[in-house]
Structure 1
């Protein structure tokens, strides 16, 4: 990438950073350009739309299990502050091995995740991770990164003459790929790793054995038959790196777990 183009892109991003600089719960610098009320409103709207378009699982045992785990996680001190009311929990009928949490206090768990989670602690690792994204302001950060990057690329496109030449188009295409791999995805991997650490502490404080988080990711590897994307081109750390990072924080998590006298009995369906 030509040096003057890189400099121009960095200047565009720097101007956004100056007005939206923040710090994550682990001390990492963040770019957050949107207000919390705006993020909550968007989270609530997205959650409502998803419930309209996706079948909700009516299985009583599955719902009771998920709600038991989610309620324990959201009862941890400080978590309620991230919601604009009681946390909403929905089990969606889908084969997806996934879950999510949205600003405003919304949690969704896909039924395909339940066979991979062998007990409440393993589901707590997933829900704790997803709630950790919200607590750390990652949805705001992700939107802000994309907004700032797209804004920077638009300025450079105009500087290079817009779509007025094959050379300019080729440069902008390369810049788009460069920005995606060099800026957005590494931030996403940092966010995922940060959510793992926050989630590990949340599940421990909620009374779930944090050691089950390692077993969860071993289960995930088995469920995917060992197939996973190249970590450099992925928004998520590899399962092996994830397990290694969780293990490195386990001593502190176990201390938190041992200090907790409440251990939820959430029965797996």
Structure 2
């Protein structure tokens, strides 16, 4: 049975679908868009049950306005995005496949204006556009298969202390493989997100101020090597380099932007 198990696992790994991200990075995506939309919808419904929703009408309208301007410039056929504000001190936001955006009220204390809020929402929506959720779920799936493969190999080789080896493999997988959104994905979402906000008529130079605010709010960071996010300095430097490209996009939209969200 062990040679057969090995063959099945190797065949599954060989059949992975390889794609390119919007910036040309290689991705392995095992799930269809429909499957990811179903996962996104189920996850969002669960979050709405578990976390309190903001009842502040003004805050909800403000966040929805910014989000709607971002989603209006997305390429291709896009769903009607559902936007929910969660009452929480977390300085965070997220977007899920299938057209779902969540913003925590704590973020509004750091994102000081509509342009800075658009920076975060554009970044989170970019994660969805770039199939980062699919990539992460696929990596987690492959990690599980990889652990099975390692288990079979250790059994076949008569290796003692198998639990120790498996624990070590699991630690390596957690640090470098299946943590949500690695640094490459975060950098990719920064690049795509700042272009989205500029096309939606939000000032991309505010993205730099937003991450400076984040740096002040976040305090000291651990080493970038063990972080799923780029360091604040690295992120700000990348955004500064992007300004020459995205400022003209922002300037070209000014005549067509009719209403401020604030």
TM-score by length of 2: 0.89
| Aligned residue among 219, 222, 228 for 2:216 | 222
Q: Could you tell me which residue of structure 2 aligns to residue 39 of structure 1?
A: 36
CA shift in 2, pair 1:34/1:114, >3 Å: same
Are residues 1:54 and 2:47 paired?
Answer: no
Aligned-partner Cα distance in 1 for 2:260–2:14 = 45
Q: How far 1:64 sits from its partner (Å)? A: 1.2
Are positions 1:238 and 2:235 aligned together?
Answer: no
Cα gap change, 1:14/1:238 in structure 2, threshold over 3 Å: closer, same or farther?
farther
Aligned to 1:253: 246
Task: Judge conservation of contact 2:72–2:200 (CA < 8 Å) in 1.
Answer: yes
Residue 74 of structure 1 deviates from its aligned partner by: 0.4
Mapped to 2, the partners of 1:96 and 1:187 lie a distance apart of 18
Equivalent in the alignment of 2:6: none
Please tell me whether the aligned partners of residues 74 and 196 of structure 2 are also in contact (alpha carbons under 8 angstroms).
no
> Which residue in the other structure is 1:200 paired with?
194
Q: Does 1:178 align with 2:175?
A: no
- Paired position in structure 2 for 1:103: 97
SS at match of 2:147: helix
The offset of 1:167, in angstroms, is 2.2
Shift of 1:51: 0.8
Cα distance in 2 for partners of 1:223, 1:250 equals 24
TM-score, structure 1 normalization: 0.87
Gaps of 5+ in 2: 1-8
Q: 2: CA distance between counterparts of 1:244 and 1:114?
A: 23
Determine whether 1:125 maps to 2:130.
no
C-alpha deviation, 1:246, in angstroms: 1.1
Aligned to 2:71: 74
| Structure 2 CA distance for aligned equivalents of residues 228 and 207 of structure 1 | 32
Q: What CA distance in whole angstroms lies between the structure 1 residues aligned with 2:122 and 2:38? A: 22
CA distance in 1, matches of 2:149, 2:74: 44
Q: Does 243-252 or 102-111 show the bigger shift?
A: 243-252
Residues 20-31 of structure 1: pairs in structure 2 closer than 5 A:
20-31=17-28
Give per-residue Cα distances to partners, 1:184-242, cap 9 Å, x unaligned: 45971111110111100000000000000000010011112x22232111111111111
Which structure 1 segments of 5+ residues have no match?
1-11
Find the aligned partners of 1:27 and 1:236 in 2 and give their Cα distance: 20
C-alpha displacement at 1:256, in angstroms?
1.2
Instruction: Encode CA deviations 1:86-142: one digit per residue, 9 max, x unaligned.
Output: 100010000000000000000000001001111100000000000000000100000
Distance 1:191 1:14 in 2: 27
The match for 2:260 is 265
Deviating more after overlay: 105-114 vs 172-181: 172-181
The count of corresponding residues between Structure 1 and Structure 2 is 252
